[in-house]
Amino acid sequence: MMLLLISNPQTQLIAMTSRPNTENYLDLFLNDIPMMDVRAPIEYEKGAFPHTVNEPLMNDEERHLVGIRYKQKGQESAIELGNELVCGAIKANRIEQWQAFTQAHPDGYLYCFRGGLRSRTTQQWLSEAGIEYPLVTGGYKAMRRFLIDELTVSANTHRYRIISGRTGTGKTRLLKRTPNFVDLEGLANHRGSSFGRQLTDQPSQIDFENGLSIALLKARHLKNGPIYIEDESRLIGRNAVPQEFRDRSSISDIVVLEAPIDERINIVLQDYVIDMTNAYQQDAGTEAGFNLFSEYLLNSLSRIQKRLGGEQTQFLQSLMQDALKDQQQSNTLDKHKEWIQILLSKYYDPMYDFQLSKKSERIIFRGNKDDILGWINQDQ
């Protein structure tokens, strides 16, 4: 529960901005309009939008104390406490941060949870500092509701094509060359397999859903034709694909990308060995980074141990450890290709082929990347 920190409620009625407040949520998200979120950090971490910056009116502790006072003694007393907590140097510092944002983003907006008390307080304090800055009517709650509703519209009204293919065929590379696509794995910051974890954390579920809804809005309003997406399972790492979107995907046409095994091995080698080694070493240094990369690779294998079986897992672990040793000592990568080929042929391919067999009636085209791109271009 958050409260206005100004003592006269009538100030809420004063027109405070040279640009009007907005409730045009579609424009905000289609055009990546920068927004300043004045909610407390704990609220922002639970759910936010792209192109926003958290510059809170009150920090988590201040918000907590004001909320307690409101429950115990009512609004007026809570307002008094808020003004006691956010005053002097603290208030000056927060206004300074807001000023910096407004100067960097003169076309932006500010918002709080409902677009009321905290937003109006922020507006007034900025106005007193000589800056008129508009807010988003309805705040975070209204924008979140808008994106939830639009996600349902996107799922139910638009045409999708699913890029499918065995592991290592380069589906994401192909996806990004299609004329209208949404990259689910990019939004989830995860490649979607047991080896798919990235160095940086995945977004919260709410942030993933917000990002997906915005990406679909752009695909619907700014581009033409069917939207291409990859064939994903229910979970991409820890992020769950919304059910209405999964339902739509389950009846959409499928385009199958094919590639020879040698090409697939090289793609997996690039994505999961070369690129991940470089990422870990850039983040943690050469030696520590390689150790972290090795842990990542072995831990990823252990996640599928139940499906592989103990004997097969031990064999692949041995191959992987030998490959890591050669990579570290002589910077050679050939031994990595051994475990990659076995994992593709013995684990991923049978699983994929079985799943695709249940969707065969939905396949509308199959071929290599050039075949598919040529077919897509002719289809426009």
Q: What are phi and psi of 230, to 5 degrees?
A: -80, 155
112 is catalytic: yes
Q: Rounded to an integer, what distance in angstroms lies between the CA atom of residue 111 and that of residue 89?
A: 23
* E strand or H helix that includes residue 193: none
Torsion of CA 88, 89, 93, 94, to 10 degrees: -30
Q: H helices of the chain, where?
A: 25-30, 41-46, 60-73, 75-85, 88-104, 117-128, 139-157, 171-175, 184-188, 205-221, 243-249, 261-268, 275-284, 286-302, 305-308, 310-330, 334-343, 349-357, 369-379
CB atoms within 10 A of CB 214: 22
CA 64 to each of CA 24, 87, 113, 356: distance values in angstroms, whole numbers, following the listed order? 31, 17, 15, 52
Q: Which of 66, 112, 136, 257 is catalytic?
A: 112
Cα 162 from Cα 376, distance rounded (Å): 13
- Interior angle at CA 310, CA 309 and CA 312, nearest 5: 70
The backbone torsions φ and ψ at residue 307, rounded to the nearest 5 degrees and listed phi first, read -80, -35
Buried b (16+ CB within 10 A) or exposed e, 140-170: bebbbebbeebbeebbeebebbbbbbbbbbb
β-bridge pairing 52-54 and 109-111: unpaired
Amino acid at 354: F
> Which residues are part of the catalytic machinery?
112
